[in-house]
Amino acid sequence: MPQPILVAVDAGVQTITLNRPERLNAFNPEMHRELRAALGRAEDDDAIRAVLLTGAGRGFCAGQDLSERDVGGDAAIDLSVTIGTFYNPLVRRMRALPKPIVCAVNGVAAGAGANVALACDLVLAARSASFIQAFARIGLIPDSGGTWLLPRLAGRARALGLALLGEKLAAEDAERWGLIWKAVQDDKLMDEAGALARALAAGPTRAYGLIKRALDASGTNTLDAQLDLERDLQREAGLTADYREGVAAFMQKRKPQFKGK
């Protein structure tokens, strides 16, 4: 059996490649389990300071593997089990990971595949890639955090348009709409995403984790609560060796050597 994901670690970057290209890297339970385990290793291993997520072949990820859902017959299907067992823990783990996740969207990202990509921290997409909220096409609602993320990234009007119509959004439009960081030339995607991931892996890892926490908390916090949180997290950041190194390097007019501590 081919591996559902490929994992390699180099220069502090854990590269995870979704690897079911014949199904456009659609999720099955094995792929979910292995992806979640790889992210767990990224969290535990101090030598990993950034994650780069991409897909093998011409697609990034086509969401749930529907061939496993085509059960036929009239029996109603309870999808809460799949969501609760696989998708929600995955998105929670990605957002809680105290290290940056770069996503290189190499081709179409549809359904849960689109929202898993958008849940990453820095999303680059090849110009030929696209994002499709394919859910309503098969009678579902956006999951994997889509209903939370889309209105926050794109505003209600665009979120509703994407979710109700399920049309393809080109990478450059996704960039224009603020859904992703950047659309790049196809043949530059992996170089650019790799360089970005390596730069992040050489950065102040603890601060990056705290930045993720603060920005996610802002989704529900009042300004007052957020100011308190910033005070507390800045205290944590200020106690790190990387902060001391950052200031020393600035004063000595040299490049900082962050250790992620």
In terms of CB distance, is 1 or 251 closer to ligand LHQ? 1
CB of 6 to ligand LHQ, least distance (A): 19
CB of 83 to ligand LHQ, least distance (A): 5
d(CA 199, CA 191): 12
CB of 20 to ligand LHQ, least distance (A): 9
CB of 259 to ligand LHQ, least distance (A): 39
In terms of CB distance, is 87 or 208 closer to ligand LHQ? 87
Interacting residues with ligand LHQ (CB under 6 A): 23-24, 26, 62-67, 69, 79, 82-83, 87, 108, 110-112, 132, 134-135, 137-138, 140, 143
In terms of CB distance, is 16 or 114 closer to ligand LHQ? 114
In terms of CB distance, is 116 or 184 closer to ligand LHQ? 116
Q: How many other C-beta atoms are found inside a 10 Å radius of the C-beta of residue 195?
A: 12
Residue ranges in the chain assigned as alpha helix (H): 29-44, 80-82, 88-96, 112-118, 146-154, 156-165, 171-176, 189-201, 205-217, 223-238, 241-251
CB of 164 to ligand LHQ, least distance (A): 15
d(CA 31, CA 174): 26
In terms of CB distance, is 135 or 181 closer to ligand LHQ? 135
In terms of CB distance, is 114 or 237 closer to ligand LHQ? 114
Q: Which residue is associated with the tokens 């339970």? A: 29
Q: How many other C-beta atoms are found inside a 10 Å radius of the C-beta of residue 130?
A: 23
d(CA 108, CA 58): 8
Q: Which residues contact 81 (CB under 8 A, 6 or more apart)?
A: none
Provide the token pair at 227.
């100011």
CB of 55 to ligand LHQ, least distance (A): 11
Q: Which residue is associated with the tokens 């770069």? A: 102
